[in-house]
């Protein structure tokens, strides 16, 4: 009779353990958790893109400043040459020489101006790209935080349920024979979390296979009774 009592408690324990297993499975397989992981990756990627574009834009801006400075100095040089020519007083040979110099400098200035314009274009494109990447990163962060909150709320609920089940389990375990408990835990590890099952209408609740009347008699004479097919502990 004591054995019967102990085995009935074992089914209660199996029930609670299965519920805890389901909760743990739910905890690590939340759709929100998957969404959070994806959003976290997207956020990291968006931040990396933003950092790269910001660095590129900064570098282009510095290069642009340098080129604009050089162009300004160059223009000053051309102005000085032209003023000198305009002021007169040069020999024909020197004046001709300076005119050729100015023509050559102006040609070079034209190339420098093209460079500055190209840099202005690139800089503007990069500024726009940085602005867009900033929006993308902010949106990715918001999405990530939304899922983070969802996960935290779901985990809080699940952890609360697990704590209640654990407390119930704590009350059942002392009622069960230590050897039976050890066998049950070992079976659970190897048989998808099910170590004990009900034998009803000759069918094992663990593997769902049928035991003949003779097999049932044989099984029930064992202590504890165990399914001939799956070796789980059977509770009548
Ligand atoms: Zn079985």
20 CA distance to ligand 1 middle (Å):
22
pLDDT for position 2: 47
Measured CA to CA, the distance from residue 210 to residue 230 in angstroms comes to 11
**pTM score, whole prediction:** 0.73
162 CA distance to ligand 1 middle (Å):
28
112 CA distance to ligand 1 middle (Å):
87
pLDDT for position 1: 41
176 CA distance to ligand 1 middle (Å):
21
125-154 residues labelled b (16+ CB within 10 A) or e (exposed) = ebeebbeebeebbeebbebbeebbebbeeb
Measured CA to CA, the distance from residue 165 to residue 51 in angstroms comes to 48
pLDDT for position 5: 55
pLDDT for position 88: 85
SS3 string, 59-109, reads HHHHHHHHHHHHHHHHHHHHHHHHHHHHHCCCCHHHHHHHHHHHHHHHHHH
14 CA distance to ligand 1 middle (Å):
15
Measured CA to CA, the distance from residue 93 to residue 61 in angstroms comes to 43
216 CA distance to ligand 1 middle (Å):
12
189 CA distance to ligand 1 middle (Å):
15
pLDDT tens string, the chain, 236 residues long: the values are: 445 556 889 999 999 999 999 999 999 999 999 999 999 999 999 999 999 999 999 999 999 999 999 999 999 999 999 999 889 888 999 999 999 999 999 999 999 999 999 999 999 999 999 999 999 999 999 999 999 999 999 999 999 999 999 999 999 999 999 999 999 999 999 999 999 999 999 999 999 999 999 999 999 998 899 999 999 999 98
pLDDT for position 6: 64
Contact 8, 180 (CB under 8 A): no
182 CA distance to ligand 1 middle (Å):
18
Joined together, the tokens standing for residue 159 give 């952890």
Give the number of C-alpha atoms closer than 13 A to the C-alpha of residue 32, restricted to the C-beta side. 13
168 CA distance to ligand 1 middle (Å):
26
Helical pair 92-172 and 2-28, crossing angle rounded to 10 deg: 170
Measured CA to CA, the distance from residue 207 to residue 99 in angstroms comes to 103
161 CA distance to ligand 1 middle (Å):
29
What are the residue ranges spanned by the domains of the chain? 29-161
229 CA distance to ligand 1 middle (Å):
5
SS3 203: strand
188 CA distance to ligand 1 middle (Å):
13
23 CA distance to ligand 1 middle (Å):
24
Joined together, the tokens standing for residue 128 give 């726009």
227 CA distance to ligand 1 middle (Å):
5
30's torsion region: left (phi>0), alpha (psi -120 to 50) or beta? beta
232 CA distance to ligand 1 middle (Å):
6
Alpha-carbon torsion angle 178, 180, 183, 185, nearest 10: -70
For domain 29-161, give its CATH number from 3.40.50.1580, 3.30.1310.10, 3.40.50.20, 1.10.287.1700. 1.10.287.1700
């Amino acid at each position: 009779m004591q054995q019967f009592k102990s085995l009935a408690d074992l089914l209660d324990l199996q029930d609670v353990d299965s519920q805890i297993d389901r909760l743990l499975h739910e905890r690590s397989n939340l759709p929100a958790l998957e969404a959070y992981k994806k959003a976290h990756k997207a956020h990291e990627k968006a931040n990396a893109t933003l950092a790269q574009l910001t660095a590129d834009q900064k570098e282009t801006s510095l290069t642009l400043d340098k080129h604009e400075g050089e162009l300004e100095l160059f223009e000053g040089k051309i102005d000085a040459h032209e003023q000198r020519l305009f002021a007169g007083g040069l020999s024909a040979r020197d004046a001709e020489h300076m005119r050729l110099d100015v023509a050559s400098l102006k040609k070079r200035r034209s190339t420098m101006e093209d460079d500055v314009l190209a840099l202005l274009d690139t800089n503007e494109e990069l500024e726009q790209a940085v602005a867009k990447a900033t929006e993308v990163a902010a949106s990715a962060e918001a999405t990530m935080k939304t899922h983070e909150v969802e996960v935290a709320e779901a985990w809080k609920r699940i952890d609360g349920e697990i704590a209640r089940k654990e407390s119930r389990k704590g009350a059942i375990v002392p009622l069960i024979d230590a050897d039976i408990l050890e066998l049950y835990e070992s079976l659970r590890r190897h048989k998808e979390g099910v170590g004990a099952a009900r034998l009803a209408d000759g069918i094992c609740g663990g593997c769902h296979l049928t035991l003949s009347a003779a097999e049932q008699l044989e099984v029930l004479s064992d202590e504890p009774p165990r399914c001939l097919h799956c070796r789980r502990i059977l509770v009548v």
